[in-house]
Amino acid sequence: MAIKRMIYRVVDLYVDGFRHLTWGKSLWIVILVKLLIIFAILKIFFFPDYIATHRGKNNSADFVGKQVLQESRPSQPPVSDGSKR
């Protein structure tokens, strides 16, 4: 019971705090609108679905697996300059 009571007191603290905001409500609205713009609208226009456009006839999981394995292998062995460190 003590945990439920503590959770209720914490939630009540925040609810009461938001209830007595004056210009803070306007700021929260601005923040939420900006987050909506950032995550919804910018994603649509600037971050296309790369996997769907590049996977061809393969399954998405196969395409991602091949890309990860290809990136994990070094393309060339490291070049040694001959000096001992």
**Dihedral angle sign, alpha carbons of residues 44, 47, 51, 52:** positive
Q: How many structural domains compose the chain?
A: 1
Report residue 51: phi and psi, to 5°.
-65, -45
Instruction: Answer whether residue 11 is part of any domain.
Output: no
pLDDT at 9: 94
d(CA 69, CA 29): 44
Is the pLDDT at 20 greater than 80, yes or no? yes
Asked, for residue 37, whether it belongs to a domain, the answer is: yes
Asked if the structure places residue 5 within a domain, the reply is no
- Domain range holding 40? 23-55
Per the domain annotation, does 13 fall within a domain?
A: no
Tell me how far apart the alpha carbons of residues 79 and 71 are, in angstroms, rounded to a whole number: 19
Mean of pLDDT over the chain = 79
pTM for the whole structure: 0.42
60-79 confidence digits (pLDDT tens): 788 788 878 876 666 666 56
Closest CA to 54 of 67, 42, 72: 67
